[in-house]
A and B are shown apart, each in its own frame.
Chain A
């Protein structure tokens, strides 16, 4: 829906009480100036004190960084949002917002389109117009700056 600055996005995420993070395969495969994307994902999760549904192979690295991560399949979690009563044990009640990190634009778009009745936030290097909020198109260099800024505000 709209591109948000990292500062506003961080404030928005902090204002939600029941957030779940979905972390995809790029967490393992993408490096930003020597720092793994999984490190960023874990830091976001820890700062928000949010559970992580780690998809692809991301769970190992996220757990190693101390995040409360469980191995999940991406579409499985999104499908659960079809029902009014939330049952997936990863989180006790239906989330208010789902934060996606570690997905290329094509996958992130597919997932946010299918996610119903929640705010969706994409922390990627692309503008995902189907999401409620995303960080917007950026080079990897700029993307790293966005994530650093986001973490700073989350920590404040």
Chain B
């Protein structure tokens, strides 16, 4: 309804003045204005809202990101075949459509982000459709009792809506699907590389909105854990660390029913069936991939086995009697392995088949009979029916379990390996030293393959190039079998969202206290060394950081065992949103809770409402207190979109190890180009030269030690107050000293005064400032500091000309205050 206005305090705010076209969104915007906006911000800043935002609506913020951190491509595809005019070799000339080589890389980057969104968006749609079918469109959805209208979420951020029922979510879903269609189209007809990369960032925001939707339905209607329905005082140990997983925790002698993929619905109905039938205790329910982490939010007896990436090895191992599977973040052809193991497969996804007969409309009993009689699997596109079949089948199925390769057979096979070959070494996408390990099997047996098994994706390239036809995948499976009894983890189920009342609670500790930062840790599994994720989490949380884990990475972290304390990492640390705590939010779709909690700071700290207000929210978050994300292991397409979401929200991401270098594009700028590092004062718009903080938005690391140091330096922000700068610098230097025996080469760039030099290094650092960097130092005090432009300045002059300690700053000219009386002191300083 055009012409609508809302009264905020003494100010009448016209909806038409806030948005480009208020038709169809006037009610949404006036509702948001009334619920969460503050009069002061209207008076002082040029507020513009973008409900149901297109990529181009957020261009002012995305432009800052792509200008400051210009994309750098780590792999290059020169031949474009996107249209019938091609193929065009873009290394030789511009394409017939005008496409340049660099723009083609950006197209591929956008396409990868879109692919990453697709499986999640499809899963969210399926979840929503099913919920509408079962509960009706008026069924209520809620973030929980502790969540109020000021709690940031991506749905509200991107659309301006605060959804209250499934009908609202249908509108959100339509928006998500519309945006994804446009982005996909752009990835085939876009010509401007920077515009394409901005669209690529939009894939991330769209993905998080789809994840929000999925989580809302799961928590509101399917009984998933939701911390927002519990008291804060419970959070220190809620949910309890009682989920036992890993191959070694699967109870022998019981039939094993494994769920795999993204869709939790078959598991939800099957577990209900097992419980109603009184046979839940007689069946081992296991999970591979995201669904495992969904299941444990309503059934904590489920065994989390592994991420999807590692799942194929487990299928070949033959642990499961029945597998119920759906589309996931990655696809691999597991049917041949399941057949080999005698495992029966029930495939439930609508969008593709595995080559199984479509039995959706057949009677349950006939499908069960066929599968029990030896049929390898069935395609059943009805989740409730698939669940019923699984419950019946698991009670009757019998199979001959596969016999893994013996030590002697392994040695015999390994003897065929020639030291003059090593073709497998060149093929391994994870850079594993396959050949040397294999040759050691001849003397040491299967344990020699342990490291290779640890980092193996099971892609089979090594086996396919082996001229001796050595069955490498069987060797790796046998190695996994040998290690299986020791493969154990213990973790908390995901807790869902983190309400603002909790994020506000840790503000004091994370800014003024001795907390080195807030860190997010994710991973799809199969880094070169499986223990890396747990090590990363432990090192950070032990040093007083607030650590969030989510998705399959949370399960990998749960493997970390402190031998000294005889405790798993989830047992050792609390689960509250506080320093020295580690919070697990849930399965893959719960990534949204991690991002959403980070984006609550602008609302809590600066009173910035997030409704349809992306640029202002991300700008504030990026400038003041942005967590760092570490993504470790095999990097799936979905992770590409997740990283885009984090970057767009102003958070730095460290990716690694090996696959990070074929990630397509990274985003950073040299920290030595001091004149490129500036920000604007929100009071008067003065250009302030600042530290290169953070110097990267996406940066690959080779080792876990490198990753953790980079994550720490990425937690530094130009507007840090002294206390937080001191502890971040302290931890950064500590990591370098511990791992590399030297100080980092850039620590001096982050020093604004002697007050923020870490106490334990202070005298050494002051000496280095004097001897190596030309500062004037008198005992423990800086007398004159060296500006990056070469001038020697007094501490007072230096603090005015370098850094933005505790200052309100922005990267966006629109967000410089328009009220001349605001920030008088700053204006005077100019």
Contacts and interface: CB of A to CB of B under 8 A. Distances in A.
Interface of A: 24-26, 29-31, 55-57, 59-60, 63, 70-76, 78-80, 82-83, 87-90, 104-107, 109-111, 113-114, 125-126, 130, 137-142
A139 B670 contact: no
B431 interface: yes
Given A29-B433, A73-B710, A59 B742 contact: yes
Contacts of A29: 433
B72 A75 contact: yes
A57 B739 contact: yes
Contact of B705 (A57, A70, A88, A90): A57
B508 to A, nearest CB: 33
B433 A89 contact: no
Contacts of B739: 57, 60
A41 to B, nearest CB: 14
Contact of B742 (A26, A31, A71, A90): A71
Interface in B693-720: 695-696, 699-703, 705-706, 710
Contacts, number: 129
Interface in B67-121: 70, 72-76
Contacts of B425: 125, 139-140
B73 to A, nearest CB: 7
A130 B661 CA distance: 14
Contacts of B696: 76
Contacts of B744: 71
B426 interface: yes
Nearest to B664: A110
Given A71-B744, A125-B426, A109 B702 contact: no
Given A70-B745, A107-B431, A140-B422, A83 B673 contact: yes
B431 A104 contact: yes
B76 A79 contact: no
Interface in B181-220: none
A48 to B, nearest CB: 21
Contacts of B669: 79
Nearest to A30: B433
Given A76-B671, A79-B669, A107-B661, 4 more contacts: A109-B662, A110-B74, A113-B74, A125-B425
Interface string B670-693: 111100000000000000000000
Contact of B740 (A30, A71, A106, A110): A71
Contacts of B736: 71
Main secondary structure on chain B at its contact with chain A?
Answer: loop
B435 A56 contact: no
B447 to A, nearest CB: 18
A145 to B, nearest CB: 11
Given A70-B745, A114-B74, A140-B436, A107 B702 contact: yes
Nearest to B704: A57
B745 A87 contact: no
A25 B426 contact: no
B429 A106 contact: yes
A70 B353 CA distance: 53
Contacts of A70: 742, 745
22 contacts: A26-B431, A31-B436, A57-B702, A60-B740, A71-B736, A71-B745, A74-B661, A75-B699, A76-B699, A79-B72, A89-B745, A90-B745, A104-B658, A106-B662, A107-B658, A110-B700, A111-B74, A113-B73, A138-B422, A139-B435, A141-B419, A141-B422
Contacts of A111: 74, 661
A74 B657 CA distance: 12
Interface of B: 70, 72-76, 418-422, 425-426, 428-429, 431, 433, 435-436, 657-659, 661-663, 666, 668-673, 695-696, 699-703, 705-706, 710, 736, 739-742, 744-745
Nearest to A107: B661
Contact of B706 (A55, A87, A137): A55
B73 A89 contact: no
A131 to B, nearest CB: 13
B51 to A, nearest CB: 37
B532 to A, nearest CB: 12
Given A55-B702, A110-B75, A139 B419 contact: yes
A113 B662 CA distance: 10
A63 B658 contact: no
Given A89-B745, A113-B76, A140-B436, A56 B670 contact: no
A55 B70 CA distance: 22
Given A57-B739, A73-B701, A110-B662, A82 B672 contact: no
B426 A137 contact: yes
Contacts of B76: 113, 130
B67 to A, nearest CB: 14
The 7 closest A-B pairs by CB, nearest first: A104-B431, A110-B661, A110-B74, A56-B702, A87-B672, A139-B422, A107-B661
A75 B700 contact: yes
Nearest to A55: B702
Nearest to A24: B702
Contacts of B663: 110
B421, B662, B663, B670: residue with the most chain A Cβ atoms closer than 10 Å: B670
Given A60-B740, A125-B426, A139-B421, A25 B659 contact: no
Given A57-B740, A114-B72, A74 B421 contact: no
A26, A30, A114: residue with the most chain B Cβ atoms closer than 10 Å: A114
Contacts of A114: 72-74
A153 to B, nearest CB: 23
A30 B528 CA distance: 14
Contacts of A76: 668, 670-671, 695-696, 699
Contacts of A109: 75, 661-662
Nearest to A86: B672
A96 to B, nearest CB: 19
Contacts of B672: 80, 87-89
Nearest to A87: B672
A57 B657 CA distance: 12
Given A76-B668, A113-B74, A57 B420 contact: no
A50 B165 CA distance: 66
Contacts of A140: 419, 422, 425, 435-436
Contacts of A74: 661, 700, 702
B44 to A, nearest CB: 38
Contacts of B431: 26, 104-107
Given A26-B431, A110-B661, A111-B661, A57 B668 contact: no
A126 B695 CA distance: 32
Contacts of B745: 70-72, 89-90
Contact of B670 (A31, A55, A83, A141): A83
Contacts of A87: 670, 672-673
A60 B436 CA distance: 24
A61 B663 CA distance: 28
B673 to A, nearest CB: 6
B742 A105 contact: no
B659, B740, B744: residue with the most chain A Cβ atoms closer than 10 Å: B740
A129 to B, nearest CB: 11
B73 A25 contact: no
A102 to B, nearest CB: 9
Nearest to A141: B419
A56, A82, A89, A130: residue with the most chain B Cβ atoms closer than 10 Å: A56
B425, B671, B696, B700: residue with the most chain A Cβ atoms closer than 10 Å: B425
B426 A59 contact: no
A56 B706 contact: yes
A30 B706 CA distance: 18
